[in-house]
Copies of this chain bind each other. A is one copy, B any other.
Amino acid sequence: MAYELYYWPGIQGRGEFVRLALEDAGADYKDVARTQAGMAAMMTMLADKSASRPPFAPPFLRHGRQVIGQVANILLYLGPRLGLSPRGQADRLFAHQLQLTVTDLVAEVHDTHHPVGNGLNYEDQKPEARRRAQEFRGSRIGKYLGYFERVLAANRKGGAWAVGSDATYVDLSLFQVVEGLRYAFPRAMAKQERHWPRLVAVHDRVSTRPRIAAYLASPRRIPFNEDGIFRRYEELDG
């Protein structure tokens, strides 16, 4: 049974963390809203007052009759099905914990360009964005990336991946975090990366996985742009 991913069609955004897992596993899936009819279907599902388990916002996944929202929750569901979860229960819970920390980081990245609110354009909150981005570059990026580096260093099962001895959806998400931060904050990231060699190594290993490499080279991978989560605004990179 094919997976149906519902997400905004013009951006990587939060949906990309799910796309990477589906692509790495070679799963049979449809990125529904990338056709006009699919986009209409997504909006209908979001507005459906009779849905018994409605999602709050995209992305959401439909698998058979089940509809699942929230990126980390989708990956919690998909992980074991795609062979991208660690084996033991304690490791599974820890992988999910790491994914929730990625979620927190992604929300903070979003707020560097939208510190006042989503209802306003970036242009209407530029002074606030400049201050928030300065704080983010100065004290948040390092805190998050240093944490992931520490997790990699403390993994007793090899250390090549975040949890256990094999790649999981967490590693795919860490790849995306590094890619996104490089795009949005190239100067700040150049300085950061020297400190986190294990994290950069995970990024590199993920990028050479055959299905990921094929995906990144395909038109299915939407380029970063200034409608997504990771945006390049010169003035926010210090």
> A219 near B: Cβ within 8 Å?
no
Q: Which of A100-145 contact B (CB under 8 A)?
A: 100-101, 103-104, 107, 111, 115-120, 125, 128, 131-132, 135-136, 138-140, 144
Q: Which of A134-178 contact B (CB under 8 A)?
A: 135-136, 138-140, 144, 147, 150-151, 153-156
Instruction: Report the bound CA distance from A55 to B151 in whole Å.
Output: 9
Nearest CB of chain B from residue A144's CB, rounded to whole Å: 8
Cβ contacts under 8 Å, A190 to chain B = none
Q: Do A96 and B120 have beta carbons less than 8 Å apart?
A: no
Q: Do A154 and B52 have beta carbons less than 8 Å apart?
A: yes
Nearest opposing residue in chain B for A77, CB measure: B93
Report if A97-B69 is in contact (Cβ < 8 Å); known contacts: A51-B154, A56-B147.
Answer: yes
Nearest CB of chain B from residue A9's CB, rounded to whole Å: 22
Q: Do B49 and A154 have beta carbons less than 8 Å apart?
A: yes
What are 6 A-B pairs with beta-carbon distances under 8 A? A49-B150, A51-B154, A70-B97, A72-B100, A77-B93, A119-B135
> A54 near B: Cβ within 8 Å?
yes
Nearest CB of chain B from residue A236's CB, rounded to whole Å: 13
Instruction: Report the bound CA distance from A107 to B128 in whole Å.
Output: 18
Nearest opposing residue in chain B for A153, CB measure: B49
Q: Do A93 and B117 have beta carbons less than 8 Å apart?
A: no
> A229 near B: Cβ within 8 Å?
no
Q: Do A53 and B131 have beta carbons less than 8 Å apart?
A: no
Q: Do B116 and A131 have beta carbons less than 8 Å apart?
A: yes
Instruction: Report the bound CA distance from A53 to B154 in whole Å.
Output: 8
Residue among A49, A53, A118 facing the most chain B CB atoms (10 A cut-off) = A53
Instruction: Report the bound CA distance from A69 to B94 in whole Å.
Output: 8
Instruction: Report the bound CA distance from A70 to B102 in whole Å.
Output: 11
Nearest opposing residue in chain B for A130, CB measure: B116
> A66 near B: Cβ within 8 Å?
yes
> A76 near B: Cβ within 8 Å?
yes
A76 in complex: contacting residue of B56, B96, B120, CB < 8 Å: B96
Cβ contacts under 8 Å, A111 to chain B = 111, 115
Instruction: Report the bound CA distance from A76 to B131 in whole Å.
Output: 36
A97 in complex: contacting residue of B73, B90, B94, B136, CB < 8 Å: B73
Cβ contacts under 8 Å, A144 to chain B = 56
